[in-house]
A = this chain, B = another copy of it.
Amino acid sequence: MGSAGTAEETGGEDMPWGEVTPDAARRLLVAAVEAFAERGYHATTTRDIAGRAGMSPAALYIHYKTKEELLHKISAIGHTKALDILETAADGPGDAADRLAEAVRSFVVWHAGHHTTARVVQYELDALGEEHRAEVVQLRRRCDAAVRRILNDGVKAGEFDVPDVSGTTLAVLSLCIDVARWFNVAGRRTPDEVGAMYADLVLRMVGAQGPRGSQK
């Protein structure tokens, strides 16, 4: 997954690292994502990361004191972006079906388009320190709450038929997150195509009336 990651994470306007300054700190984060994705967090050293970024271990240390600090930064940025996507959709225009379709579509597009980052964010949670993990768990609870809010709105409005709101919230998020595992840039579906298909499937899961979602 390394080479696909390289092209994916460093190209494109909407990469989540654009906000990280200075440039050296940003390059180190991109290098860390690539290294963690290729070899796993525990098999990666700060020396590996510095080398990938074309820097010395001492130069890395100016920006990040530990390898865990790099993982935390990656995880915090990834989760903040995920939360922003879901809350924007939950607060957006339209009825519950419109908002759910938009939440699924945009969340899937992000996981497909940033699958290398998303894999690191999802699979290395156990490597975070206790305090950092607690912070990330809070962000994950808020992601969950954004989707649950849309489902509850739809049930209240009589638009959705959902016997188990918390279980369905979990399933919807899980379905979207797992796109990061299987998505292949060389595959036959674009991120937008997967997003549209998944929006339709999720509207079916919640028993939304009539065909929706694909009109976006």
- A contact residues vs B (CB 8 Å cutoff): 1, 39-43, 122-123, 126, 163-164, 167-168, 170-171, 174-175, 177-179, 181-182, 189, 194, 197-198, 200-201, 204-207
Contact = CB atoms under 8 A, between A and B. Distances in A.
A177 B207 CA distance: 23
A197 B164 contact: yes
27 contacts: A39-B40, A39-B43, A40-B40, A40-B41, A40-B43, A43-B43, A122-B181, A123-B123, A123-B181, A163-B200, A164-B197, A167-B194, A168-B201, A170-B182, A171-B198, A171-B201, A174-B178, A174-B179, A174-B181, A175-B175, A175-B178, A177-B178, A201-B205, A204-B204, A204-B206, A204-B207, A205-B205
Given A40-B43, A205-B201, A174 B167 contact: no
Contacts of A206: 204
B170 A174 contact: no
A133 B148 CA distance: 39
Contacts of A197: 164, 167, 171
Contacts of A167: 189, 194, 197
